[in-house]
Amino acid sequence: MLTPEQNERLTRVGPETPGGKLLRRYWQALCPTKELAHDVDRKRIRILGEDLLVFRDAQGAFRCVQERCPHRSASLYFGFIEPDGIRCCYHGWKFDCASGQCVERPFEPVAPHAGIKLKTYPVQALGGLLFVYMGPDPETAPLLPRWDVLAREDKGKQILVMPDHHCNWLQIQENTADSVHTFYLHGHRAAALNGGVPDRISAYFYRPIKSYDWKTSRWGVEKMVEYGGDQAELEVRPPLIFPNILRIPEGPVEALHFRVPIDDEWTRIIWIGLYAGIPGGELGPADRVPYTYAADPPGVTVETVDISTFYGQDRVVWETQGAITDRSVETLGASDRGIVLFRRMLAEQIDKVERGEEPDVAVVRDPAQNECITFDVTTPWFETSNVS
């Protein structure tokens, strides 16, 4: 378990928090590229406790700035995108899109603009998604990792932005290091819903677990599970990608889940799937990858989430832990060792940032190592497997 102080340190995501400063050293997923490249020219996005405006400038480049004008806090969402900047709709103050520098203040008799700036963050597009780097110095930013699902262009892709989750991002990401939850939450639950017989997908996880193990790696935490019974095997899963990514085969679809903190108590999950073994998705330019924003049915609550799906089963246990779960009251066991490894890794990387260093887990700086990042998964999955 953690002390309340340790829990705060790992979970809070604001600009001046230890955890928030670490997360800002990693590229974070913003939204589907197609949404900004073709469907709209601007979008308000809250991420890591900051309200941002993402838009295409007059030259078509993607930009990201703080949403509110530093004059009187009007939203720049309603501003005017001009050839050389963005102008606030309220009083016409104008800012350079790249630097954030104020370049014009109408009606002001004295016009020193030097100290007036918007926060600006660099944006990159990859594989159908836009990513933002919110670290203090863009010049020291690592490369945007070219995870295989993003980098591959030989198969179709689809994107799903799930409904916002009312819980802290760490509750969702810790689930990835929790290798044994699949037996009861997914396997046993499915059997209970089906009169004692799990469906084929859930049956994969409804096998006796003989042993489990974890180890740290350059990407995060590697996971292994040994199953017994009639279909015994040693399953080597893709690693938990530090700090907030799940890489997972979902049957014939290879998927990434980006668990993006909206703020301390809300998380956005952006799913992108590569249809590696079957027809599906859209094959073509990355800025044309189709996307869907999923919405909860009207009036849905955590008690009425559809728990017949893996997603619904995971969601209810994440959200019922509370907006930020109190880890000081936990009783951990041997099967939680992967979670402990992940928490230690997170704390160590936070310490590095506080010492003025850059994090070094799942960070890529050499272009030669960033062509297409793949993982060794030594045991094949059943064709219809799916786990989180």
Render 101-128 in DSSP notation, one character per residue.
BEEE-TT-SS---TT-B--EE-EEEETT
What secondary structure letter does DSSP report for 362? S
Cβ atoms within 10 Å, residue 298: 5
Which of 91, 119, 140 is the endpoint of a domain?
140
Domain of 43: which CATH number?
2.102.10.10
Classify residue 6: in a domain, yes or no. no
Same domain, 87 and 231: no
Q: Are 121 and 212 part of one and the same domain?
A: no
Would you state the pLDDT for residue 385? Answer: 45
Q: Are 136 and 152 found together in one domain?
A: no
Residues 167 and 221 in one domain: yes
Asked, for residue 249, whether it belongs to a domain, the answer is: yes
Q: Which of 243, 237, 184, 245 is nearest to 215 (CA)?
A: 237
What tens digit of pLDDT does each residue of 151-178 get?
A: 999 999 999 999 999 999 999 999 999 9
pLDDT at 364: 98
> Quick one: 94 and 184 in the same domain?
no
Tokens read off for 62 = 């993607």
pTM score, two decimals? 0.94
Same domain, 159 and 214: yes
The Cα 214–Cα 126 span in angstroms is 30
Residue 61 CA, distance from chain mean position: 23
Total H helices, total E strands in the chain = 10, 19
Q: Is residue 21 part of a domain?
A: no
pLDDT at 100: 96
Confidence at residue 386, expressed as pLDDT on a 0 to 100 scale: 46
Beta bridge partners of 124: 131
Looking at the domain assignment, is residue 22 inside a domain? no
Contacts 24+ apart (CB under 8 A), 297-301: none
Instruction: Tell me, yes or no, whether 89 lies in a domain.
Output: yes
* Owning domain of residue 290: 148-369
Question: 């290879």: which residue's tokens?
Answer: 254
Same domain for 123 and 200?
no
Residue 201's pLDDT is what?
A: 74
Whether 168 and 303 map to the same domain: the answer is yes
Q: Is residue 356 part of a domain?
A: yes
| Angle, CA of 68, 72 and 75, to the nearest 5° | 30
Q: What's the CATH number where 209 sits?
A: 3.90.380
Asked if residue 208 and residue 312 are part of one domain, the reply reads yes
- Residue 176's SS3 state is helix
- pLDDT value of residue 348: 98
φ, ψ of residue 9 to 5 degrees: the values are -60, -35
Q: What pLDDT was estimated at residue 277?
A: 67
Residue 308: the pLDDT is 87
Phi-psi region of 302 (alpha: psi -120 to 50; beta: other; left: phi over 0): alpha
Q: In whole angstroms, what is the distance from residue 94 CA to residue 106 CA?
A: 9
Of the residues 108, 140, 172, the one at which a domain ends: 140
Q: Which of 120, 140, 160 is the last residue of a domain?
A: 140
Is the same domain home to 90 and 207?
A: no
Q: How far apart are the first and last CA of the chain?
A: 23
Percent of the chain with pLDDT over 90: 80
- Residue 380 is predicted with a pLDDT of 46
Do 181 and 292 belong together in one domain? yes
Query: Are 76 and 135 part of one and the same domain?
Result: yes
- On whether residue 7 sits in a domain, the answer given is no
Provide the domain count of the chain.
2
What is the CA 309 to chain-centroid distance, rounded? 21
**Residue 17 in domain:** no
Q: Which residue has the tokens 């819903």?
A: 193
Q: Which residues of the chain have pLDDT under 70?
A: 196, 277-278, 377-388
